[in-house]
A and B are shown apart, each in its own frame.
Chain A
Amino acid sequence: LIVSYHRKKKKISTFIYIPSTFIWRVLVCFYRVKMASSFARVLSSKRKVGILSLVGAGSLTVGFFLNKEQRVNAGAHVRRIYPPSAEYPDLRKHNNCMASHLTPAVYAKLCDKTTPNGYTLDLAIQTGVDNPGHPFIKTVGMVAGDEESYEVFADIFNPVIKERHNGYDPCNMKHPTDLDSSKIRGGQFDEKYVLSSRVRTGRSIRGLSLPPACTRAERREVERVVIDALAGLKGDLTGKYYSLTLMTEQEQQQLIDDHFLFDKPVSPLLTCAGMARDWPDARGIWHNNEKTFLVWVNEEDHTRVISMEKGGNMRRVFERFCKGLQEVERLIQEKGWEFMWNERLGYILTCPSNLGTGLRAGVHVTLPRLSKDPRFPKILDNLRLQKRGTGGVDTAAVGNTFDISNLDRLGQSEVQLVQTVIDGVNYLIECEKKLERGQDIKIPAPISQFK
């Protein structure tokens, strides 16, 4: 793919090699562009902005073709007054994935580039510069502002992804997507131990910038597209949307009592990335009447999708999860939209840690004896599971109840990861039962990571 920008001629020329297998995606994008009402307005405007969107493994660009009255900005080089060495951040006290891989050379190579929407490297790394990290917890330290960020800044994203995803190499590996819940074996846990089951992921709407970079209009468009689709859900998925700006006091209290309400992010990891701008504009919560399927709109991602219920029926939770996701995808496609996805990275989300499946499947499980056993961490490790407190990622466990979920996100499919959780949690429960009976337990052999 060659993009060349002639400053004097003030136009962009893009020479694109389009593998034939991806022509259909191009056509889908044009179709979408014609169908979506807001874009119809764009096309009919005097500016004649044409949007050619190409997504495919290995090569990605979005070029804006503009007529002579317009100045070109998309994909153009960024002017700097200072050399990269004067702009390079001081990362000596930093301990995050971005800081580990952003050498001065990589910075110099990427600092003048922008995605077609105008997102820059400095924007992507701002959160990592502002938050040096914690000696024990290694944060990612960078975000994507749009789908193209992962391509334009691949030289930094790829090593970060590889480190964060335990060796998954975006350059030569493919990510499998599988939302066929019928493939799951088992999935009904002993409810004496498992208190609740939950599966969450995220989805991004292709063609719109991600939360760190989106404009207010884009964010509102995401909201419109998503709630339009959710309104089409039927049966046990029928539900209602609660906009953060419009909800009543009663609605707010109910959502708090249900533990559904999300608040304006306070974590500097998120606020420094710009995700909380214009809060609470175009943010909201949708859930089905049965309160087992929940969608967050415009929080850390375009959408966060959660399926959950009390008890140990992970199988049903995952079935609903897949059904809901597939329905929503079908409904947005009817209107000419699609999710951000590619073969290399799976589903595209704001934080590189959520690429691939973006899936965290887990349970709240009581393990009074096992949790005190010194082999517990190793067992979890080998089962490729992680533990958290029941309040979520930054909390400690209360009593003997833990949040146990999959460690991996990228490189294995949804079905594989949920199966891993099912098998793993069953093993943990078996261990707990053995310890109850005074029997000894075994550390399981480590399961392979990339299947």
Chain B
Amino acid sequence: MHSSFAHLQGEENITEARGTGVDATMPFGNTHNQLKMNYTAEQEFPDLSQHNNHMAKVLTLEMYANLRDKQTPSGFTVDDVIQTGVDNPGHPFIMTVGCVAGDEETYEVFKDLLDPVIEDRHGGYKPTDKHKTDLNPDNLQGGDDLDPNYVLSSRVRTGRSIRGFCLPPHCSRGERRAIEGLSVEALGALDGDLKGKYYALKDMTEEEQQQLIDDHFLFDKPVSPLLLASGMARDWPDARGIWHNDNKTFLVWVNEEDHLRVISMQKGGNMKEVFNRFCTGLTKIEELFKEKGHEFMWNEHLGYVLTCPSNLGTGMRGGVHVKLPNLSKHEKFGEILKRLRLQKRGTGGVDTAAVGGVFDISNADRLGFSEVELVQMVVDGVKLLVEMEKHLEAGQSIDDLMPEQK
């Protein structure tokens, strides 16, 4: 993988920097890898006895010993990768990943750790597997007729990283500002129903802020220790902002958990329209970046590269807010979702519980399936769930509606 840092290092070959060949230092506490080398791997190995996350399941002393003297060209080390997992032993509802990438090369340099984490997290995805990207909305069948009496809103989100820049856990202020600048420029060139405006977090007025809150667009400084421990919230709110189109159906977050988070959404059940706009918008943005000589981080094996290994591949979560008061109480609800390859969340997002029988239902997978395939699963799955809900409302059994494992 080409690194934009290569030309700066002069005489050194730094696709995989060993030892202390690289001067670039880390912004978050583990700068001095050379100092750590004065201690043995045992002395430095974290105590993971109380831990339950993907990183802790995979990281052995031997693996740590092999990886500890490596750095990516920008200076990201294995301790940086795992810090969030060391600091956060577990989560009550979900099995967290426990590691992050500081740049694109992290996934290569620390593959001994990240490949098994990815395999575990993404349902057996092998290091030799290839990921298919499909952002052609015409390939989606149906999706425009989800019952709006049950499906309150539809939403598709993903992330994108700009190649050549470090990711949020590791980027410097200068890099983050450069990412903001490039993004704002690209987004500024969007037109038609995608035409919109950027609101920098640190410059927005009180009125703008209130409006964004009312629209449920405003994102706040992360409070989750999962994110804070990885260093993503440094220098808040510098170079962070929100862009959205005038129609408020297409939204981009800049420099939150990833370089860009792209969201397409609207009220009601027309997932096809949402996905259409999603694909069109993303493709346009990618073109605009390419015009300026930048591309997104992507490769054949991992698809789109993002900060958290859980968001690799499509990085996509497509879902709906749907009323399932009866079905959600059914004993087979969990099993049904599992077979449909869907997951449920509360309507407040990943760490919340459902309110009033309304659930956020979305695809469980990210990697190994294309965007079209995943949205198809959501569309077909939600259709079935609504069907089942109607059956239960009418007092009928749903046994003959039970799906096969996808």
Contact = CB atoms under 8 A, between A and B. Distances in A.
Q: Say whether A associates with B.
A: yes
B362 interface: no
The list of the 6 closest CB pairs from A to B, nearest first, reads: A118-B32, A82-B174, A217-B39, A217-B43, A86-B174, A274-B29
A230 to B, nearest CB: 21
B173 A218 contact: no
A278 B28 contact: no
Nearest to B45: A216
Contacts of B28: 123, 126, 274
Interface string B36-50: 111110011111000
Interface stretch (A66-74, A186-194, A350-358, A379-387): A66-74
Contacts of A215: 30, 32, 35-36, 39, 44, 79
A276 B87 contact: yes
Contact of A87 (B45, B79, B174): B174
Interface residues of B, number: 49
B31 A70 contact: no
B69 to A, nearest CB: 11
A73 B235 contact: no
B27 interface: yes
A209 B30 CA distance: 11
A245 interface: yes
Given A82-B178, A277-B83, A217 B44 contact: yes
Interface string B215-237: 00000000000001100011110
30 contacts: A7-B10, A70-B19, A71-B21, A73-B23, A74-B34, A76-B23, A78-B23, A78-B24, A79-B22, A79-B23, A81-B8, A86-B177, A86-B178, A88-B173, A119-B31, A120-B27, A126-B27, A129-B238, A130-B235, A213-B29, A215-B35, A215-B79, A216-B44, A217-B36, A218-B39, A271-B228, A276-B87, A277-B87, A277-B229, A278-B46
B136 interface: no
Nearest to A209: B35
Interface of B: 5, 8-11, 19-25, 27-40, 43-47, 79, 83, 86-87, 172-175, 177-178, 202, 228-229, 233-236, 238
Nearest to A76: B23
A215 B33 CA distance: 9
A151 to B, nearest CB: 16
A250 interface: no
A278 B82 CA distance: 10
A81 B29 contact: no
Nearest to B237: A90
Nearest to B44: A217
A129 B221 CA distance: 14
B178 A117 contact: no
A129 B37 CA distance: 30
Given A81-B5, A119-B32, A278-B46, 8 more contacts: A78-B23, A82-B174, A114-B31, A118-B35, A130-B234, A209-B35, A216-B46, A274-B28
Contacts of A7: 10
Contacts of A79: 8-9, 22-24
Contact of A117 (B8, B19, B35): B35
Contacts of A114: 25, 31
B47 A81 contact: no
A271 B30 CA distance: 15
Contacts of B30: 215
A122 interface: yes
A36 to B, nearest CB: 12
A84 to B, nearest CB: 9
B36 to A, nearest CB: 5
Contacts of A278: 46-47, 86-87
Interface string A209-228: 10011011110110000000
A348 B383 CA distance: 66
Given A72-B20, A81-B174, A123-B31, A279 B39 contact: no
Contacts of B20: 70-73
Nearest to B24: A79
A281 interface: yes
A49 interface: yes
A112 to B, nearest CB: 9
Given A82-B175, A217-B36, A217-B43, A277 B27 contact: no
B47 A245 contact: yes
Contacts of A82: 172, 174-175, 178
A108 B115 CA distance: 40
A74 B25 CA distance: 12
A120 B25 contact: yes
A130 B229 CA distance: 14
Interface of A: 7-8, 38, 41-42, 47, 49, 64, 70-74, 76-83, 86-90, 93, 114, 117-120, 122-123, 126, 129-130, 209, 212-213, 215-218, 220-221, 245, 271-272, 274, 276-279, 281
A340 to B, nearest CB: 16
Contacts of B5: 81
B178 A118 contact: no
A277 B86 contact: yes
Which residue of B11, B19, B31, B47 has the most chain A CB atoms within 10 A of its CB atom? B31
A130 B173 contact: no
A47 B234 CA distance: 36
Contact of A118 (B11, B19, B34, B236): B34
Contacts of B24: 78-79
Nearest to B164: A81
A423 B19 CA distance: 57
Contact of A129 (B43, B87, B229, B235): B235
B32 A213 contact: yes
B27 A123 contact: yes
Contacts of B27: 120, 122-123, 126
A351 to B, nearest CB: 16
B35 to A, nearest CB: 5
Given A77-B23, A120-B31, A129-B234, A281 B47 contact: yes
Nearest to B9: A79
B6 to A, nearest CB: 12
Nearest to B31: A118
Nearest to A81: B8
A118 B38 contact: no
A342 to B, nearest CB: 21
A217 B43 CA distance: 5
B104 to A, nearest CB: 15
Considering residues B35, B46, B83, which has the most beta carbons from chain A within 10 angstroms of its beta carbon? Answer: B35
Nearest to B225: A271
B94 to A, nearest CB: 21
A277 B29 contact: yes
A216 B87 CA distance: 12
A78 to B, nearest CB: 5
Contacts of A8: 11
A71 B19 contact: yes
Given A277-B86, A278-B46, A281-B46, A89 B238 contact: yes
Contacts of B23: 73, 76-79
Contacts of A276: 87
A90 B177 CA distance: 11
A120 B10 CA distance: 22
A135 B120 CA distance: 48
Nearest to A245: B47
B181 to A, nearest CB: 10
B179 to A, nearest CB: 12
Contacts of B172: 80-82, 87, 122
A81 B44 contact: no
B29 A87 contact: no
Contacts of B38: 42, 49
